[in-house]
Structure 1
Amino acid sequence: MALSGIILAGGKSSRMGQDKGLVDFQGKRMVEYAIDLLNPYCDELLISINQPGYENFGLKLVADQYPNFGPIGGLHASLKEAKNEWSLVLGCDMPFLTPEFIELLISKQTDTSGVIPIHERGIEPMAAMYHNRLVPQLETHILKGSLKLQQVFLELPVSFVDVTDLLKQLPKLFGNLNHPSDLKSR
């Protein structure tokens, strides 16, 4: 199956104080963790951005069609631009995701609109697989001012993948880095 890879890096990074995707973490910029993870699985990589600084990665950059709508805006614009029907989507601030996780998502792909990890603490919509058939529904929600992806999931069929066992093995798996102090404590 052909896959696009989408890295969501268009956030305001207000808690970090600077663009999270471009922050150095253990010798690499955070966005590079997502690039390196997605590269073996995807024949196209896109970065969802709303600010400069990502030009040197040599990837397709996608600005939000509807700015200031958060992750739903970045997901909408990127799925619309992706050349493949299915995309692996990762937030730029999740450096602990693994190939095992990506392979689990791919193996659970069904004829739905998304494959989304779930565990006892909730769902992980910023580390998931989405079909481009979500685009019209995302646009409808944006135009209504409804910014919660969970609302979209109630309207279209998605598959939830229980990742509890993987999370027990890799407790940091979905850890995201939001504050400067997170860069030191991990």
Structure 2
Amino acid sequence: MSAIAGIVLAGGGSRRMGTDKTRLVFDGKPLLERSLEAMRPYCAEQSGGAGMFVVFGEHERPVPDGVRALRDEVLGQGPLRGLATGLSAASASGAAAAVVLSADLPLITAAVVGELLAAFEAGRAEALLAADHERTHPLVAVCSTALAAPAVAALAAGKRAMMEFLNSRAIRKTQVSEPLALSNVNTPQEWAALSRLRSEP
């Protein structure tokens, strides 16, 4: 497989949480950094990857050294716009594929990202999405950078739903060995529940 890029989508407004989710600290690290840490072994340039990108919406925030900050070209179009922005930048960096994670995954691990990359390499698809026994997680995925242009076209046609777009493409889904790693947080209640989970012996 050619060099892989990493994309963290951090353009949400965190309205239901009431505070910036990307800065919430879990196990000593902000959530944004946890997503970057999970992809770093595969995507960082110093690890032989094609580089890591964080896609912001209206409010850009600092990113660690070696990570490139991007802003959505058009605001208010949701994660599909962020995906298009990130995949376009990843393609320009020479990557044929990219790990795509949201910035609100407290339990995401490098091991899970490695599973996704292995599954992506093992079969032909434009995108490989993580899944658990309840649902598919489109923001824990590996995507071909060739999806950038179709995503832009979908947005131009007024189609903003991420799963609607992905379901129109050649995708595969895979269950991971750590389903809890796919848990994202949107509300203070979900954040409290995950924090309690981590504190239990």
Q: Same fold by TM (over 0.5)?
A: yes
Question: SS in structure 1 opposite 2:35?
Answer: helix
Question: SS in structure 2 opposite 1:124?
Answer: strand
Q: Which of residues 75, 84, 88 is equivalent to 1:76?
A: 84
Cα drift, residue 171 of structure 1: 4.6
- 1:49 maps to 2:56: yes
In the superposition, the TM-score normalised over structure 1's length comes to: 0.89
Who is 1:6 aligned against? 7
CA distance in 2, matches of 1:72, 1:81: 14
In the superposition, the TM-score normalised over structure 2's length comes to: 0.83
Specify the code of the residue in structure 1 equivalent to 2:170.
P
Cα drift, residue 17 of structure 1: 1.3
Report if aligned partners of 2:159, 2:165 keep a CA contact under 8 Å in 1: no
Cα drift, residue 103 of structure 1: 1.5
Report if aligned partners of 1:25, 1:183 keep a CA contact under 8 Å in 2: no
Who is 2:119 aligned against? 108
- Which runs of 4 or more aligned residues in structure 1 lie more than 6 Å from their structure 2 counterparts after TM superposition? none
Cα drift, residue 102 of structure 1: 1.1
Who is 1:156 aligned against? 169
Who is 2:108 aligned against? 97
Question: SS in structure 1 opposite 2:153?
Answer: helix
Cα drift, residue 153 of structure 1: 2.4
CA distance in 2, matches of 1:146, 1:159: 21
Give the direction of change, closer, same or farther, for the CA distance of 1:123–1:171 in structure 2 (3 Å limit): closer
Give the direction of change, closer, same or farther, for the CA distance of 1:56–1:140 in structure 2 (3 Å limit): closer
Report if aligned partners of 1:3, 1:85 keep a CA contact under 8 Å in 2: yes
Report if aligned partners of 1:22, 1:53 keep a CA contact under 8 Å in 2: no
Cα drift, residue 13 of structure 1: 0.6
- Consecutive unaligned residues of structure 2, counting only runs of 5 or more, are 44-48, 195-201
Q: Report the aligned-residue RMSD.
A: 1.7
Question: SS in structure 1 opposite 2:8?
Answer: strand
- Consecutive unaligned residues of structure 1, counting only runs of 5 or more, are none
Give the direction of change, closer, same or farther, for the CA distance of 1:118–1:22 in structure 2 (3 Å limit): same
CA distance in 2, matches of 1:36, 1:19: 19
Give the direction of change, closer, same or farther, for the CA distance of 1:132–1:175 in structure 2 (3 Å limit): same
Who is 2:156 aligned against? 143
CA distance in 1, matches of 2:27, 2:132: 28
Report if aligned partners of 2:60, 2:71 keep a CA contact under 8 Å in 1: no
Range moving further from structure 2, 78-87 or 93-102: 93-102
Cα drift, residue 50 of structure 1: 1.7
- 1:62 maps to 2:73: no
Report if aligned partners of 1:72, 1:149 keep a CA contact under 8 Å in 2: yes
Who is 2:98 aligned against? 87
CA distance in 2, matches of 1:14, 1:146: 22
Who is 1:185 aligned against? 193
CA distance in 1, matches of 2:86, 2:54: 8
CA distance in 1, matches of 2:132, 2:188: 27
Who is 2:184 aligned against? 176
Range moving further from structure 2, 123-132 or 145-154: 145-154
CA distance in 1, matches of 2:179, 2:152: 34
